[in-house]
Structure 1
Amino acid sequence: MDVVLINPEDRTAVKNKLGFVLPPLNLMYLGAALERASFTVQIIDDDLRRMGAEGVARIVEGINPLIVGITATTATIRTSLEYIRAIKNRLPDVLTVIGGPHPTFLPVDTLQECRDLDVVVMGEGEATIIDLAETYEKGGPGSLDDVAGITYREGDRIRTNRARPLIEDLDEIPFPARHLVPFRDYETSSQDAGGMITSRGCVYPCRYCSSSLIMGKKFRFRSPENVVDEVEELVDVYGLHDIAFLDDTFMLHRRRAREIAEEIQRRNIDVSFVTSSRVDMVQESLLRDLRAAGMRTIYYGVESGCQRVLDMMKKGITVKQAEDAVRAARKAGVEVITSFILGYPGEKPSEMDRTIDFSIKLDPDYSQYSILTPFPGTPLYAELRRQGLIEDDWENYTVIKPVIKYEKLGLSRELIQKKLVKAYLRFYSRPSYLLRHSYMIRVFLETLYRTYIEPKIPFKKN
């Protein structure tokens, strides 16, 4: 085996809306790229298997690969480095590589924290991992100085190479190697398992978001034909008829979105799908076209019901646009999910209450709430770090735990936590809502547990 890719166990309280474990789409993309370059690849999803660092290290030792790669978010970075240490202890000569949003923005810090880590891949990884694997296979650890897009250890020094250009033609990237994971073992809905990405990059300057910094401020997109080819693969090969388009801004290119709908209909594919959109991109006619092709649900990042807070976020939308977007979806016969952020620096408690009231006024089918979490790489993180207003206890970066020192802003972390619980309670406990969505009683109780009770239970490793 040439390369082993690892998805670490996620010990945080939040995974997704129902706590399901999802297939690691990012690693399946890397696996597909490596396979096309004639490398043999194995993916170990320990978030599914739960073997722990030592258990995975024993398996990797038996495989004895050339390279071990692992992914990390901010919440999982410490866990990911545990895996690296355990593997390096058994295989001192293996090249250890890490990627993902957290190490992308803190590559030097990540290498300094773990002496057993050799390389950080920054940003988009498909081209970089191939270049890294080919270079290392030919020349060993002393040959990495010309691999773009990495920060790496060279003896006692840490070096950062030139940035790698973004992949211009996304149609050239192979479909995720879903055959490398035990696809049927995931206890999730087919929609979640059938997640796919049709575009990369974001042109908007939201101060709490790092998407544009990871994937670029230029909107890059796959052709409608290429997108629907993958839809067909999910339907024909994996038997999935519920799919989620996971793009940040699926509807930024409206004509392309309409062409995707038309291509699905032209091929007569029996599929139901979920998309997301900014509220200022919505057109009722486009929603109707997408609905005719199978779109069942749309996700709106509304974030606040207070215009002053939206302006502080640099969200670039209005409260009225949010109202109009929900109304348009209703008219098109599409379910609506809205998301909101509580605790933005400078936000008043009364404004958080206005956001909760606004979410109820919109009356979507589902609503998600989170606590403002300024991840490394975001403009807001840099500002709060300079002001000494943020903690670096990465395990708390779960979007349901306050990581800002609100006491210095005249508030308290306890208050922000209570506002989050209040939001879920008020939205999902309405009798009128539960009468229409009786199956959501389980979700409501699960959310309360994960939001308020589970975070207070000390983590115990089995």
Structure 2
Amino acid sequence: MSKSIKITVLTPEFYNYGAMLIAGVLKDAGYNVDIQKGFEGIIDADIVLISLHSTIHLLKYREEIEKIKSFKIVGGPVSNSPELVFKYLSVDAVIIGEGESSTLKILENLEADNHEADQLNEIEGIAFKKGNKIIKTKKTTSSPMIRPLPLIPEDISSENIRGANVYIETHRGCPGNCGFCQVPCFFGRDVRSRTLDDIIIEVKEFLKKGAKRIAISGGTGSLYGSKKFKITDEYAFTELLKEISSLTGPQNLTIPDIRIDMMNDEILEAVKNYTNGWIFFGIESGSDRMLRKMKKGIKVDDVKDAIEAARKHNIKIAGSFIVGYPGENEDDFEATVELADELMLDDYFVSIAEPIPGTPLADDVIKTPLNENLLFIKSDKYKNYELSIAEERCLNLMLDSYVFRSIPVAMTDNLFKTLLEETKSQGNHIRTVTEMILEESDF
């Protein structure tokens, strides 16, 4: 093979940043590469790199991926469990974790028509099959944070990911230890930040290509610039927001999330001055017992203090809550409802605990018998809707959140129907994922 081979980087539902980044790395290395969203049309490529961010995609897009006759490589968050990938998909290799280096090395082997198991075994951070056996190579070293520009699709301006055209990466890693989060599993707990100059060059390129609304990502936004013995660097974070905002305008810059224990007045003032004025806190529970079980590293009182601090800066506040976590009892849930009521946030996001492979939550779910898993226990409430206890709690908190918020929203039949459908969709999705990882644990 030569670098004239055609490579397609494919994302099923939206142009995720990781796919654009890998495509940019390959283009910079001289490969003929394009990026495609969805499976429509014939994929005319020798090699297809498929970026999958959700475990459910292994089932949802199984048939479409089967039809692709190219050499297929899977990457993205699902790569934390290559065993699951190979169980459900007919693909040739899996990139485990950070893929900038390992993807290039696989392609170099393919160029040399050298993709025997003995040769692939020398490449760090991948998995492949040798007969019926899955081979996982040594974990790859961390990728450099200075890299080529992403390959940006021409229609990036039409993308809408929770209100943004793109989530750009400012750093990798998180010192937090939340049991449901994949970031430390994927990128580690040491924070590695990109240079501000590098980020600004990238932002300009996205704007040049038509993007207007930009969100900064990388786990907790305020970790940008962090050093080993200093969790937050207010100056670095403020300069980051100030410089990006000067290009996008504050109304078009979003900070997706900030940890409650990784913010201060300087950070809040920067959010107020240089972004659209919203902050997203992962609150998760109103029960200190459950917060300990989730390994959040915060207490309910910390949540209240953070909300009060954000309000002093006139910042709009959204909060996420997780229900149905293993071990959650009725008292824990009621404590969460009471906290959500007391806080009166500007927006609420409620989800059922999803066991992402490789996380402590997934390990807990594997150890929990189905007759003790709240997602598999029928609720006595809302009997006509056939909900589990986890779904009942999700729906209840969603319904209540429209009353609790700073500007209450009247409940209508259409809104109730929408929330019920969302609850059932979450429940079905997470039950399927749970069954998948349980089957894999028995495999």
Paired with 1:112 and 1:138, the residues of 2 have a C-alpha distance of: 28
Residue type matched to 2:400 in 1? R
Q: Deviations over 1:77-121 (max 9, x none)?
A: 12343233211xxx3xx321112222x23213432444x321111
Does residue 231 of the first structure (1) align with residue 203 of the second (2)?
yes
- RMSD value, Cα: 3.1
Of residues 44, 49, 58 in structure 1, which corresponds to 2:36?
44
**Aligned-residue offset at 1:226:** 2.3
**Aligned-residue offset at 1:360:** 2.4
The 3-state SS of whatever aligns with 1:148 is coil
Q: Deviations over 1:251-304 (max 9, x none)?
A: 133322123134347x56524322221101121222113322235211111111
**Aligned-residue offset at 1:343:** 1.5
Paired with 1:291 and 1:231, the residues of 2 have a C-alpha distance of: 20
Alignment correspondent of 1:119: 93
Does residue 416 of the first structure (1) align with residue 390 of the second (2)?
yes
Alignment correspondent of 1:67: 47
Does residue 274 of the first structure (1) align with residue 254 of the second (2)?
yes
The 3-state SS of whatever aligns with 1:165 is coil
Does residue 152 of the first structure (1) align with residue 128 of the second (2)?
yes
TM-score, length-scaled by structure 1: 0.79
Percent of aligned pairs with the same residue? 26
**Aligned-residue offset at 1:441:** 11
Does residue 183 of the first structure (1) align with residue 142 of the second (2)?
no
The 3-state SS of whatever aligns with 2:35 is strand
The 3-state SS of whatever aligns with 1:357 is helix
**Aligned-residue offset at 1:213:** 0.8
Does residue 382 of the first structure (1) align with residue 363 of the second (2)?
yes
Residue type matched to 1:108 in 2? E
**Aligned-residue offset at 1:425:** 0.7
Paired with 1:100 and 1:119, the residues of 2 have a C-alpha distance of: 12
Residue type matched to 1:147 in 2? I
State how many pairs are aligned. Answer: 404
Paired with 1:449 and 1:326, the residues of 2 have a C-alpha distance of: 30
Residue type matched to 2:101 in 1? A
Q: Deviations over 1:298-338 (max 9, x none)?
A: 11111111111111111101111111212222221221110
Alignment correspondent of 1:8: 12
Alignment correspondent of 1:107: 82
Residue type matched to 2:31 in 1? F
Q: Deviations over 1:148-175 (max 9, x none)?
A: 11111234543222211011x31x2233
Paired with 1:321 and 1:404, the residues of 2 have a C-alpha distance of: 29
Of residues 422, 425, 436 in structure 1, which corresponds to 2:399?
425
Of residues 187, 193, 203 in structure 2, which corresponds to 1:221?
193
Question: Which gives a bigger RCO, structure 1 or 2 (Cα 8 Å, sep 6+)?
Answer: 1
TM-score, length-scaled by structure 2: 0.82
Paired with 2:312 and 2:140, the residues of 1 have a C-alpha distance of: 44
**Aligned-residue offset at 1:424:** 1.0
Does the Cα contact within 8 Å between 2:157 and 2:210 map onto a contact in 1? no
Does the Cα contact within 8 Å between 2:169 and 2:216 map onto a contact in 1? yes
**Aligned-residue offset at 1:375:** 1.5
The aligned runs of 1:176-215 (5 Å cut-off) are 176-179=150-153, 182-186=155-159, 188=160, 191-215=163-187
The aligned runs of 1:319-330 (5 Å cut-off) are 319-330=300-311
Does residue 365 of the first structure (1) align with residue 338 of the second (2)?
no
The 3-state SS of whatever aligns with 1:257 is helix
Paired with 2:91 and 2:211, the residues of 1 have a C-alpha distance of: 39
Paired with 2:306 and 2:413, the residues of 1 have a C-alpha distance of: 27
CA distance 1:427–1:233, change in 2 (3 Å)? same
CA distance 1:99–1:456, change in 2 (3 Å)? closer
